[in-house]
Homo-oligomer: A and B are copies of this chain.
Amino acid sequence: MEISIAQVAEILQGTVEGNGEAKVNRLEKIEEATEGSIAFLANPKYTNYIYDTQASGVIVSKEFTPEKEIKSTLIRVEDPYSSFAKLLEAYQQMTAIKKVGTEQPSFQSESATVGEEVYLGAFSYLGENVSIGDRTKIYPNAVIGDNVTIGNDTVIYPGVKIYANCKVGNNCVLHAGVVVGSDGFGFAPQEDGTYKTIPQTGNVIIEDHVDIGANTTIDCATMGSTIIRSGVKLDNLVQIAHNVEVGKNTVIASQAGLSGSAKIGENCQIGGQAGITGHLQMANKTIIGPQAGVPKTIKEEGKVWFGSPIQEHKEFLRTSIILRNLPQLMERVKQLEKKL
């Protein structure tokens, strides 16, 4: 599907500078773009690329003043990044695969109920009393356990496994290999050195607009529910233990782990490979750096923490500098000792 640069400019309410008749059919990065594509320039760091780019059209700010000749046609807009994101979205909607209907063979228990315009991929499995909302997509080889309810407009990618009794809301995306509702890690030590399994009788509740990355695991609660609130975004390979609660709009990067019964506030950001101890609270808008270790409750909102165990960011930076210069500090102590 090709359109002219002039048509793109019309969609973005921008103005054309150069050949508006040139045809484009895809979006590319300015530094890698080839003929027939649209790129954008928002970050000044990338300005140099505009003089050499092969993109047929480049979206730029109204204020942009070139210092050399540019071969590409320019589309001038208020905010190049937003405009490009808008195009990206339009592009995705046009190229998205609109899966609807039931592929065979698939397994649907007699007691399962399925909404309208649903996609059920081949080898997908719906257990007893499962309820699937409208326009929801269940990709191939996904397994939906007994009594699970899934809302409207949710996408369950291939090979997702949801255990019995869990709930998934509307407009969620669960990427391939996600596991929801596996047993919490609870074992009572016995006198003979063995462990006895503590039954995990609860479930997982995932509210609306939650995205969950590939192969992430979320355990069910011992009793009650492990809860992922609305708007939460989890990256790949994240671990959420039993009885954790993740507050609204909190974002957790890849390979981070949350131990049992941790209560994370709203609008927090947790870095990749960070580890959160169990049974603690984290205040709203807390930011945790990558590879950090959080050993206890964080009460004050909106602070930034780094390191393992964590320190406030400024303190962490100060400590880090001295750490890197420890050999010099040692030397200075030696000098002092000599002088005395």
Interchain nearest-CB distance for A135 vs B (Å): 16
Determine if A194 and B161 form an interchain contact, defined as CB atoms under 8 angstroms apart: no
Determine if B211 and A236 form an interchain contact, defined as CB atoms under 8 angstroms apart: no
> How far is B233's CA from A251's CA once the two chains are assembled, in angstroms?
29
How many subunits of this chain does the assembly comprise?
A: 3
Cβ–Cβ < 8 Å partners of A273 in chain B: 257, 273, 275
Cβ–Cβ < 8 Å partners of A105 in chain B: 105, 107
Task: Please give me the residue from chain B that is nearest to A87 by CB atom.
Answer: B199
Interchain nearest-CB distance for A190 vs B (Å): 9
Interface centre among A105, A211, A254, A290 (most CB of B within 10 A): A254
Which residues, 142 to 187 on A, are CB-close (under 8 Å) to B?
Answer: 143, 145-146, 157-159, 161, 163-164, 173, 175-177, 179, 182-183, 185, 187
Does any Cβ of B come within 8 Å of A311's Cβ? yes
> How far is B121's CA from A322's CA once the two chains are assembled, in angstroms?
58
Does any Cβ of B come within 8 Å of A91's Cβ? yes
Does any Cβ of B come within 8 Å of A89's Cβ? yes
Given A107-B122, A215-B215, A336-B340, CB of A141 within 8 Å of CB of B143: yes
Interface residues on A, range: 35 or more
Does any Cβ of B come within 8 Å of A193's Cβ? yes
Which of A15-23, A68-76, A112-120, A217-225 has 4 or more CB atoms under 8 Å from chain B?
Answer: A217-225
Which of A4-12, A58-66, A296-304, A323-331 has 4 or more CB atoms under 8 Å from chain B?
Answer: A323-331
> How far is B231's CA from A273's CA once the two chains are assembled, in angstroms?
27
> How far is B241's CA from A213's CA once the two chains are assembled, in angstroms?
11
> How far is B143's CA from A103's CA once the two chains are assembled, in angstroms?
14
Cβ–Cβ < 8 Å partners of A27 in chain B: 201, 223
Can you list 9 pairs linking A and B with CB atoms under 8 Å apart? A91-B199, A95-B201, A105-B107, A125-B158, A141-B159, A161-B176, A185-B254, A311-B324, A332-B333
Known: A105-B105, A291-B293. 14 other contacts (CB 8 A): A85-B199, A105-B107, A125-B158, A141-B161, A193-B248, A193-B249, A215-B215, A217-B236, A235-B239, A253-B259, A275-B291, A318-B327, A329-B330, A332-B333
